[in-house]
Each structure stands twice: as C-alpha cells, then as structure tokens.
Structure 1
Amino acid sequence: MPIRLHGSASQLPATSVYVGQGSRYANPFRAGDTSPSEHRTPMSAEEAVDLFAATLRGPVGQCYAEHFARALHGLDLVCTCPLTAPCHADVLLYLANGSVPHRTARSLEGPIQ
C-alpha cells in the first residue's frame, strides 16, 4: 500500500512522486493563508487540506482529481509537511488508491525523532 513520505523533490525513490510546493500536485491552499470563510482568519493545516479536498470534489476539481488518481496510483507520495501534521498528500493517496492512507513515521531523512 502506498504511503506518504517526508522529504524533498531532490531525494526521490523510484516508486515515489514529489507532491509538495512547486509540483503540479501541490496544494494551492496553505496553513496561514487567509481563510475564505466570513471570519477571514488564518487557516490551520487541517483547514487547508480540507479546502483542497473540497475543491477536488467540485465540478472543475473532479477533472483534476481523476487525472491525479491515474497519475499517482500505486506510488508513494513525498511532501515536506511533517508526517504528524495534516497534508494534502493524504487526500491524493486516498484518491489514487481508494483507501484511507496509512500514516508512517518514515522519512527520507531517516526515522522521525
């Protein structure tokens, strides 16, 4: 089962794809960005991931979701987000593999301390 790994675009195992900032799979919504809600407060990481997921469920986003699912199926996903934090890579893993992603303590830099 594919997993999310912590790392950068420069250290990719052959069975993985970088989905972080600067990639075509990056989350355009970031923690700290202004929320689109009426309160206009800074978003948490969880809110940014939820907004990414909601966008992919919309009419235009569904086309992207289908493309992402085909392109990422069976691959581990690498992002710079801490493995203990919410990350859009979890949404992409779900889309691509149809199951709830397994969180791991594995990092491309070694075990998390």
Structure 2
Amino acid sequence: MTDETPKRIQLSRKKGWRKPEGAISVSRPGQFGNPFAIGVRVPVWWRGRDRIQRGNIETETNEQAVAYFRDWMNGVVDVDDWPRPYLPLIRGRDLCCWCPADQPCHADVLLELANPSPLVERVKEKQLMSPVSGVSVKISVSPVNGDHP
C-alpha cells in the first residue's frame, strides 16, 4: 500500500508474478467478489412499488456485470445468500482482480465507493445553495453497508 490513490491491479498466473504487498484480491470466490458473473443466473430481489419483487439476473457482458454490481452495492437490488462487502476493509488499498485493465471491472466500483473523493466527503456534511432556485438544500449521502463517516 502506498500514499497514492488506490488502483486496480490485474491478477496474473505468470511465473514470478506476485500480488503487491498490501493489495487485496477482490476476485471470486471471496467476500469482495462480484456475484454477477457472465452467463450465470443470479437470484435477486428488490423493493417494488407495493411489494417485494423477485427475479433472476443473467449478465451477458462485463459492462452489465459491473452495472448490476453497482446497483447491488447501492441497495437497488439484493442478492440471496451473498452479503455486501464491508468497504472500510479495503479503503486505501490497491485491489486485484482477473479482469483485463482495459475492460470494466467491479473493482473500479469498489475503489470508487471505498475511497470517495474529498468533494463527496465535504458534501456529506454541508448544506448547499441551489444556483437555480436559490433555496438552501441539505445534502446527505447514505453510507453503503454500514460505512459511517
């Protein structure tokens, strides 16, 4: 782990490759893995207008898998028998996954949520003036998975 911004590192099986010290693997299986694997039906549920809805999600692309992962992390859908990762465990750490560096990856979502920008941190505690209406608006950002400031 370094003092610079945490980043995603692609895991490798090449001879001599080692995971950097302090980096955390977020691949499957594991507590930080993405339950939305390409071609796998995942049972999910979400809160509908007047009742709980159940269904299955099957992803066809990396982009879909990452989008569903983001929805899951933000509480839009829930996955049966798969608890959401506890973000403080990975805050400030580099994350390793098998996804190629030039493709979308759920590790990017984890990095974004576990390491919010300074602006997001400031907004959590501020009241802002709307430039359009001039009305004072209190902004609060709900913590993800019990992640309290």
Structure 2 counterparts to residues 65-80 of structure 1, below 5 A:
67=86, 69-80=87-98
**Does 2:25 match 1:18?**
yes
**In the alignment, is residue 57 of structure 1 matched against residue 61 of structure 2?**
no
User: What's the TM-score, normalizing by structure 1?
Assistant: 0.69
CA contact (8 A) 1:34 1:43 kept: no
Higher relative contact order (CA 8 A, sep 6+): 1
Unaligned runs of 5+ in 2: 44-54, 118-149
TM-score (norm 2): 0.53
Identify which of 41, 62, 67 aligns with 1:45: 62
Q: What is the number of residues matched between the two proteins?
A: 94
Alpha-carbon RMSD: 3.0
Q: Using the TM superposition, give the Cα deviation of residue 24 of structure 1 relative to its aligned residue in structure 2, in angstroms.
A: 1.1
Runs of 5+ consecutive residues of structure 1 not aligned to the other structure:
100-113
Percent of aligned positions with the same letter in both sequences?
Answer: 36
Give the C-alpha shift of residue 14 in structure 1: 1.7
1:97/1:42 Cα in 2 relative to 1: closer, same or farther (>3 Å)? closer
- TM superposition outliers: structure 1 runs of 4+ over 4 Å: none
d(CA) in 2 for partners of 1:8, 1:88: 17
